[in-house]
Structure 1
Amino acid sequence: MESTSTPPLFTVLPDGLFGPLASPNRHHHWHLLCRLFEEFFGPDAPMPPSIGLQRREITSAIERYLLTDDPWEDEDGVTPDTPLAMRAANLYDRFRDAGWLRQERIGAREMVSMTPVVSQFIATLVEFTERGPTFLSAKIRSIELQLLQVVEGKAGGDMLDEAALQARQLLSNVAAISVQVRDLMPELSRAESTASFARQLFERYVGKLFVGDYADLHKDDHPLARRTSILTMAREIEHSSLRGSMIQWYSERTTGGDSVRAEQRLLRNLRRLQEIDRIDEYLQRLDDDIRQANRRALAFLDYRLRTPDRLDKLLRRACRGVLSAPGEALRLPVAPGHLLEERRLRPPVRRPQPIPRTANSTAPPTPEQIARLNLLRQMKRVRLVLPEDLVRYLDRHWDSSVRLDSQSLRVDSIEDFRAYQTLVTLALRSHRAGGLRRDDPLHRMLCGFRIELVDGERIRNDHLHSPRFVLHRTRKAA
């Protein structure tokens, strides 16, 4: 009987989603999915139309990928000798049948998209493969600031959920690093050469597994000292009037009015936050694993550097010499006395006492820091051009006529220079076939006028050499 506590994965994801990733060509399939996600459906891709992309556009992209990603293993009767268009169509059909892509018919066209659930899933997988060292400082600060918002009444249960989730992920990451360190050292020990071992040690062990701010973990001012503040705020939420408001928030927004389930969810989040108190246990185990890994790495390097070349030949030569030597020459070359006694043993290592941690005192910014921040904000605002900024700039130049030539535009300040640059960009984009499209981000700058580029003519002012353009008033801007 299936446990009711098991998360229902395949009620969220399609049943056959993992099929392409479990086939003989799984590496090629994963590379192809990442390329499609990056080019068409990911956060860095251009915004796709709401109805999706045409099927031919996706299959053409798959064909381009196949040209640089051969050979594939034979699978389902498809070989590398199969025509490229047929292979691309077969791959597209496989991704569509597995649930990675969704196809809809709109009119006479077949449109392709990726569902939000699948898009979020592949983004999570990509993030997992690219995850580097963990920075405990940033996670602790984030948890503390989110709880502070809840305690001050500026946030609700959603912020408490996020803080509890980050607390659970923090402990899981530290525990996972210990396992990775223990698993990696035997693998590094099988390196073929000293140079290969040293390169893998620093590239994989130091560069990817270490906590990013591991060197600061045992300092007084490390953010882990804020653990006490986090636990205090969690207890305040549990034993103050905030408890009732949080239960009401969960009841209204997540549990459909069920106060019992709302209280269980609140207690679950508070329990996750209180597990922060165990961070010392995880860090102590991580210290032990890293210390042992360091000793093994140093011993291995020392052995490799001290061991002479062709050691196997030297051992065989020594064995032949021992077999052919007379008996009196095989005495053990040691000094008189006991080989093992207490005076010859290494004294035990005494570990220093841990430094007691105290909470940090927050220093307010100095007047110079505040002044620099205000100056930076003013600099950014001066260089930002909004529609109302463009209207104010043009209002200084409009007269009774409805036509304004770019030669009459003056540039007296940084704001004027940025406004003039924006007008030049508008003129160049409006010169394309079809004019300035409505989905262009600069289209909202056309407030009360339209712009026309004068072909072949350029003008020069004291600041910029640009094409000549003409503005036509369409209505009076508000």
Structure 2
Amino acid sequence: MGLFDVLPDDLFKPLASPSRRFYADALLSLHEKTFGMSAEAPRRAAVIHEITDFMARWETANGNIGEDDPRTPREERARAVYQRLLETGWLIEHRDRYLRYVDLDPDASGLLHVLSATVRGDTRTYGGAVIGVLSALESAHANPSERSENVRNAIVASKDFLAHMRMVSVSLRKVEEKILRQTSLHDVFRSFFEDFVQQHLIADYKTLHTKNNPFRFRSRIIQQARVISSSSLTVMSLGEAYFREGRSVSPAMGQVAVLDDLAIIVEIFESTESHLAAIDATATRIERRIANTAKYMDRVGRTAESSILDAMKAVAAAPDGPVNVATSILFRGLPVGPPHMATPRRERAPIDATTVRAPVRDVAYERFLAAKTDYLRRTKVTPKNYLAFLDRALGTSIAIRGSTIANETIENVDDFLVFQRLRELPTIFEGLAARRYEIEMLEDRISNDWIDCQDFLIRRKQGGRHG
């Protein structure tokens, strides 16, 4: 779907006319003052009255509108402006009995909202954006079944934050090019302070180099997103919430959407270093340009001007006729000396011979590594021992309850570690166990001396016997 499949066809006609500045200011005024704070649609007469008042203020500040005849009464010209906005799709009318009410077209209103923010030059604080993402992720992790919307809020805020960083980087490069195009010292300093310092250095760039740097939360955001992704139960709850709230077609697809959203957030905040490097490099070039200008300002300005004035006075005081000026002191070619001559490459020092010693084997350390390897082997749940435990628990049965497994099948700590992961059956090992078995959560609970959790029923799928 393209942009013009959403917006009316003639929407941009007023903004492309000779009076485009007037129409742009009028639309922004209507958006913020007439329709922005109004809970109900205003009447047609009230909107025309607002346009008339705005036209009077605009003509006082900017002169007459190019397309209008100033001899025409202002009320009549305001009606013509209203009719044009209505015909081009900016405004829509509806009737209530014999009264006509006016409102902004919903699609045009969204466009005006973006244009209004552009005109205001709203600056974003990085601290608010970064902390907002972190708070949303922490809330979703603490209560995944009821706060799943915070994951979407976090990814929207992350994308908005990344777009703002790009905008700052491009804006700084634009300012740099503008400064380099200036021909006078006055224009150079005015561009520096108005376009660089006021708009970017104070509002955005300077906040990145304070002790309260908002990027101190960057690692916590990445860690929080990865913690949520690595917790199968949390992802399962978020996926079910996505499905329940209509953001996915099934709980399984909801889990996929959750993992994709979290991966995007991690990718965005891992890429911030490159954007910061680009911003720093551009800002450094601008500051170096201004420093060099200030350094040579006296030499270029006062010294050169005084020398020219002295030369002009000397020429004016000389008698009539040609003025002899000695030019032999001027170099006619670049000087050549030792700094300009090539020097041979230095020889590398020979590498000293060293004695290679065989490492001494530490028996205690090797035993420690063996014990650690055995510990990791026993505590790690693998697909093989996971499926073997399920086959042993079900035996020849079609289904078995978790409480039965807890009381009859668990014989040692290794079995208990596998039992703890049975509730993750739909997602564990990328759905390997879910191809053979299915799980149903029950309302009862399993409670004994070593575990307290919700009971469940594991059922063998048809043809899914593991033999």
After superposition, give the CA deviation of every residue in 1:378-414 in whole Å (9 maximum; x if it has no partner).
Answer: xxxxxxxxxxxxxxxxxxxxxxxxxxxxxxxxxxxxx
Note if 1:308 corresponds to 2:297.
no
Indicate how the Cα distance of structure 1 residues 287 and 12 shifts in structure 2: closer, same or farther if over 3 A, else same.
Answer: same
SS at match of 2:58: coil
- Which of 224, 240, 259 is equivalent to 1:233? 224
- TM-score when normalising by structure 1: 0.60
- Which of 236, 242, 246 is equivalent to 1:244? 236
- TM-score when normalising by structure 2: 0.61
Alignment correspondent of 1:18? 12
Amino acid at match of 1:66: M
Pairs within 5 Å for 1:225-374: 225-240=216-231, 241-255=233-247, 257-259=249-251, 262-263=254-255, 265-275=257-267, 276-308=269-301, 314=308, 325-326=325-326, 328-330=328-330, 337-338=337-338, 340=340
Question: Post-superposition shift, 1:192?
Answer: 6.0
Query: CA–CA distance in 2 between the matches of 1:158 and 1:109?
Result: 41
Pairs within 5 Å for 1:20-39: 20-39=14-33
- Aligned length, in residue pairs: 329
Amino acid at match of 1:257: V
Query: CA–CA distance in 2 between the matches of 1:16 and 1:302?
Result: 54
Question: Post-superposition shift, 1:305?
Answer: 4.2
Query: CA–CA distance in 2 between the matches of 1:323 and 1:159?
Result: 84
Alignment correspondent of 2:58? 69
Amino acid at match of 1:26: R
SS at match of 2:94: strand
SS at match of 1:104: strand
Rg larger for: 2
Pairs within 5 Å for 1:86-235: 86-153=76-143, 155-191=146-182, 193-210=184-201, 212=203, 214-215=205-206, 217-218=208-209, 222-235=213-226
Query: CA–CA distance in 2 between the matches of 1:286 and 1:170?
Result: 14
Query: CA–CA distance in 2 between the matches of 1:277 and 1:250?
Result: 26
Query: CA–CA distance in 2 between the matches of 1:180 and 1:237?
Result: 36
Indicate how the Cα distance of structure 1 residues 341 and 314 shifts in structure 2: closer, same or farther if over 3 A, else same.
Answer: farther
Query: CA–CA distance in 1 between the matches of 2:157 and 2:260?
Result: 13
SS at match of 1:228: helix
SS at match of 2:272: helix
Q: Is the 8 A contact 1:157 1:250 kept in 2?
A: yes
Query: CA–CA distance in 2 between the matches of 1:285 and 1:130?
Result: 25
Q: What's the % identity of the aligned pairs?
A: 23
- In structure 2, stretches of 5+ residues that fail to align are 316-321, 344-467
Query: CA–CA distance in 2 between the matches of 1:336 and 1:124?
Result: 61
After superposition, give the CA deviation of every residue in 1:34-56 in whole Å (9 maximum; x if it has no partner).
Answer: 222222111xx3x343xx22212
Query: CA–CA distance in 2 between the matches of 1:308 and 1:96?
Result: 58
Q: Is the 8 A contact 1:53 1:111 kept in 2?
A: yes
Indicate how the Cα distance of structure 1 residues 328 and 238 shifts in structure 2: closer, same or farther if over 3 A, else same.
Answer: closer
After superposition, give the CA deviation of every residue in 1:124-150 in whole Å (9 maximum; x if it has no partner).
Answer: 321232234432222111111110000
Query: CA–CA distance in 2 between the matches of 1:328 and 1:199?
Result: 42
- In structure 1, stretches of 5+ residues that fail to align are 1-6, 344-478
SS at match of 2:270: helix
